[in-house]
Chains A and B, each alone.
Chain A
Amino acid sequence: MALAPHDVLLRVEHLTMRFGGLVAIHDLSFEAKRGVITALIGPNGAGKTTVFNCITGFYKPSEGRIALLHGDPVLWNELDVVTARGQRSLRRPEGALFLLERMPDFLVTEKARVTRTFQNIRLFQGMSVLENLLVAQHNMLMNASGFTALGIFGAPSYARAQREAIERAVYWLEKINLLDRADDAAGELPYGAQRRLEVARAMCTDPVLLCLDEPAAGLNPRESADLNELLLSIKKDGITSILLIEHDMSVVMQISDHIVVLDHGIKIADGTPEAVRNDPNVIAAYLGVEEDEVQNVAAKVGL
């Protein structure tokens, strides 16, 4: 697909998530563009992971719309029509439009091709590294095996599909430097390798949007640099865009093209890394300020 980068890929509009009386996210709107790395940052408890859970279908947002586009940006014009019709998605030859908040979690990955990783690593610890990467290609393999019926009799089409799946797994294992450990249990890998494997596993689902929840948490500076390189190479391939939650500013500032800052569920800044770095609201949220200044900032963002 010869698509211009920097078209809007993901559009989050007026997203609100309430848990009983607690408002975790309040009226959040932002966009993520195709072919770039968008970072979502904010202090602890700002609601970043909740945003991820809403995007990937793990939570149903209380209010708001989350839309994702495959293909031609002209389809954005249809967004309100699709919403009004109560549909989950719109498929046209030139592309497709998905309303993620209406889809169950597994369809968000399968159909809308949005895949996530987790803050606390969720690998299949008792399965080998290779198996982890094959489980990620479940839907493709399931179709190739004729929902098991063909596969169980060893149909050649399934054998070919499995070979391709292994090739893809090997490609990613080379990329994350774990090829020599393909047959070891995922749970036996060192922590940093597990982090990289989780990214590779998510990539094996062939996503258009990869949502990474603190991928650099607990990594040493070297591993962190390796991870940056990996993410930049994913970006360079041009198929997958990245949405990133991260605390590690060295990762965020170096690799992201666009940053959205959340505090207490409210967007306080949105822009390039330079702009965000110098934004007084961001500095206040991260470093803390005098009491009266808090009042000023709160008044400004309408709290």
Chain B
Amino acid sequence: MPAEAPDRAPPSLVGRALKEALVTGFLAFALFLPLVGFVSVQSMTNTLLLEARWESLFSVVALIAIARFLYVLAGPWLERRRARAKPSAPASNLRKVFSKFFTPFALGFAVVYPIFVLAFTGINPGALKWIDNFGIQILIYVMLGWGLNIVVGLAGLLDLGYVAFYAVGAYSYALLSKEFGMSFWMLLPLSGILASFWGVLLGFPVLRLRGDYLAIVTLAFGEIIRLVLINWVSLTNGYAGISGIPRPTFFGIPFNASDEGFAAIFGLEFSPLYRTIFLYYLILALALFTAFITIRLRRMPVGRAWEALREDEIACRSLGINTTNTKLTAFAMGAMLAGFAGSFFSARQGFISPESFTFIESATILSIVVLGGMGSQIGVAIAAILLVGGTEIMRELDFLKQIFGNDFEPIRYRMLLFGAAMVLIMIWKPRGLISTREPSIFLEERKAIPADLLKEGRG
């Protein structure tokens, strides 16, 4: 350590590790004393009692101190590894092959996934969980992530209320299909248009704000929409939500057990699986449509203007670009895609309530975009699989009960693990999983643009 006084012998590694472990342990103790050390419980007479939980507190503190100790001990080894890894960067042939085949492989996998599941589980309701909770759920978030990616990743407008447009789409479908009996295929574009209408309506007054201010106002808008949904009981039925929403049909053929149902017409035994598989391919098509639109738009003047806006708004204005309109198109496009996703969501659930459109949803979608790497489609898809799939997989970890006892519910720790995973990924890849940018056009060869040159946009 060059900072040490020259006349003192450098402290041994173990000594330093011990010292740092002690300091870390002390900090952890101070931090977790109120958080873990005490718990308030209600007695039989309804009075609150403060109970100390020294065991938990000390095990947490000891765990952290030991982790720090080991980390410092491993320091020189990590450094050596990092130094060795640096020069081998050009030898990324494997990575090139990987990135070339990854997209077609992932697409192919998404297409055969339901068949793959059925092959494992057979045609029985056990497959529902895997197709519905994993497949459809993840794809909804992939689609939402890609939609928000246009607003946040391309145009650089921080939108914390994206779920509002998702809600507009969902309620549009629910109300119009129940009241007027309009079909899913008619309402899908209509909900998108309604959502983008609200996007423009919000955008007009708000988009002159920048950065943090824009974020706060969009956050408020998300809450306002939710509160309207809760309080306008005569229209939305408030907290109770809307149930019995008509389900989508297979181009007019309903998925039910009747003689005109899908199973009967195609000579199959009735099973709820068919609808789920249909919904899976529907959301897959919608998500791919989103991806296609984004890829095409990036190569249009409007898409380039979005990215230019993220890079430097003043320069855009000096080049004759109407920045207000450009921001509005980004906002409206993102809102429309959320509207599509929302109408799909409500058709799939058959029941919606304001509970589904809380801020945590906006935060999850935004985390997906940030974690994936703003502007990167593949990154966003991977992040959606990690975040949403990760949550779902925690429901499946029953073997943990054998270790931690029957009271242990892994799902209750998901926010904790979420946070830890986010922190780790952000240390490892501060600009998201895929942070380089592909230019939208090239003369001779396509060269990825390194992440440190990209701006995040200031709204």
Contacts and interface: CB of A to CB of B under 8 A. Distances in A.
Nearest to B439: A128
B159 interface: no
A134 B312 contact: no
Contact of A127 (B302, B318, B449): B449
B318 A182 contact: no
B454 interface: yes
A101 interface: no
A118 interface: yes
B320 interface: yes
Nearest to A161: B301
Contact of B443 (A105, A124, A130, A201): A130
A127 B443 contact: no
Nearest to B305: A138
Given A128-B447, A141-B301, A151-B300, A201 B442 contact: no
B96 interface: no
Interface string B297-316: 10011101101101110111
B455 A136 contact: no
Interface string A179-216: 00011110110000000000001100100000000000
Interface stretch (A24-32, A42-50, A71-79, A109-117): A109-117
B449 A128 contact: yes
Contacts of A116: 318
Given A185-B449, A187-B453, A130 B439 contact: yes
Contacts, number: 137
Contacts of B455: 125-126
B325 to A, nearest CB: 9
Contact of A122 (B315, B321, B322): B315
Interface residues of A, number: 45
A106 B311 CA distance: 17
B316 A135 contact: yes
Contact of A148 (B301, B323, B444): B301
A152 interface: yes
B319 A205 contact: yes
Interface string B229-245: 00000000000000000
B210 interface: no
A155 B321 CA distance: 22
A184 B307 CA distance: 16
Contacts of B443: 130, 166, 170, 182-183
A103 to B, nearest CB: 11
Given A125-B455, A127-B311, A184-B447, A109 B300 contact: no
B310 to A, nearest CB: 8
Contacts of A138: 301, 304-305, 308, 319-321
Contact of A131 (B304, B318, B321, B322): B304
B296 interface: yes
Interface in A131-177: 131, 134-139, 141-142, 145, 147-148, 151-152, 166, 170
Contacts of B321: 106, 135, 138-139
A56 interface: yes
A127 B301 contact: no
A115 B439 contact: no
A126, A136, A147, A188 — most chain B CB neighbours (10 Å) = A126
A123 interface: yes
B311 A126 contact: yes
Contacts of A56: 318
A122 B318 contact: yes
A185 B449 CA distance: 6
B315 A109 contact: no
Contacts of B446: 183
Contacts of B318: 56, 58, 105, 109, 115-118, 122, 202
A144 B319 CA distance: 17
A136 B322 CA distance: 12
A123 B323 CA distance: 16
B437 interface: yes
B311 A152 contact: no
A184 B450 CA distance: 10
B440 A131 contact: yes
Ranked nearest first, the 10 interchain pairs of A and B with the lowest CB-CB distance are A109-B320, A126-B454, A110-B320, A124-B311, A187-B453, A141-B301, A122-B315, A128-B439, A185-B449, A182-B443
Given A123-B312, A136-B319, A148-B297, 6 more contacts: A58-B318, A148-B301, A148-B302, A148-B329, A183-B446, A185-B449
21 contacts: A58-B314, A106-B316, A106-B320, A116-B318, A118-B318, A122-B314, A125-B454, A126-B453, A126-B455, A127-B304, A128-B442, A130-B441, A131-B441, A134-B304, A135-B308, A138-B305, A139-B320, A148-B301, A183-B445, A183-B446, A185-B449
Interface of A: 56, 58, 105-110, 115-118, 122-128, 130-131, 134-139, 141-142, 145, 147-148, 151-152, 166, 170, 182-185, 187-188, 201-202, 205
